[in-house]
């Protein structure tokens, strides 16, 4: 009986040892989980840093590509081979030619108008000249007649 009594006690102690070992296992598993979480956090940090490095590399590559593109466009512009430049020059040239085409009829129209104005002015000058010539003749005739009238009527001042 004593052995049966001791047996549960031993078992009890054995169970307690098992509990202690389970606690130690739990502690290890918690520490394992902590270290796994730490590893995951570290991995996430490494991934974030890696992603950031990739982002910076991609951004730098995009910058370099854009810079190269702009340099290429500048070179083409200086050579006169840039497509956008050629389109704009063609449009500008068309506008220039259109203005020249419109300038010729406008110039002719202006020339005709000036000629018409010249003819009108010339006719007006001739008419004014003729009118003044007639007026001058009439004035001279009147003056001569008045002078003759004084002479014949005796009202002539003493000579």
Could you say which DSSP state residue 157 is in? P
Confidence class for position 41, pLDDT limits 50, 70, 90? low
Residue-wise pLDDT for 2-23, tens only, equals: 444 444 444 544 555 555 555 5
pLDDT confidence of residue 52: 84
Helices and strands in the chain: count of H runs, count of E runs: 2, 0
Residue-wise pLDDT for 81-110, tens only, equals: 999 999 999 999 999 999 999 999 999 999
Does the pTM surpass 0.85? The reply is: no
Q: What percent of the chain has pLDDT over 90?
A: 53
Cα–Cα distance measured from residue 37 to residue 18, given in angstroms and rounded to the nearest whole number? 27
Enumerate the domain spans of the chain.
48-81
Cα–Cα distance measured from residue 81 to residue 88, given in angstroms and rounded to the nearest whole number? 12
Confidence class for position 24, pLDDT limits 50, 70, 90? low
Cα–Cα distance measured from residue 117 to residue 101, given in angstroms and rounded to the nearest whole number? 25
Token representation of residue 26: 């739990």
Mean pLDDT within 137-149:
88
Distances, alpha carbon 130 to alpha carbons 14, 59, 116, in Å: 153, 91, 21
pLDDT confidence of residue 5: 45
């Amino acid at each position: 009986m004593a052995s049966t009594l001791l047996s549960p006690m031993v078992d009890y102690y054995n169970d307690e040892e098992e509990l202690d070992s389970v606690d130690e296992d739990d502690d290890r598993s918690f520490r394992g989980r902590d270290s796994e979480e730490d590893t995951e956090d570290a991995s996430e940090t490494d991934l974030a840093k890696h992603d950031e490095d990739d982002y910076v590399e991609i951004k730098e590559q995009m910058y370099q590509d854009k810079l190269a593109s702009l340099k290429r466009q500048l070179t083409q512009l200086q050579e006169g081979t840039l497509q956008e430049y050629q389109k704009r020059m063609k449009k500008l040239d068309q506008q220039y030619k259109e203005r020249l085409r419109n300038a010729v009829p406008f110039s002719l129209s202006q020339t005709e108008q000036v000629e018409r104005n010249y003819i009108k002015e010339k006719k007006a000058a001739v008419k004014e000249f003729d009118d003044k010539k007639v007026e001058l003749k009439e004035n001279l005739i009147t003056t001569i007649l008045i002078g003759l009238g004084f002479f014949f009527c005796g009202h002539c001042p003493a000579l």
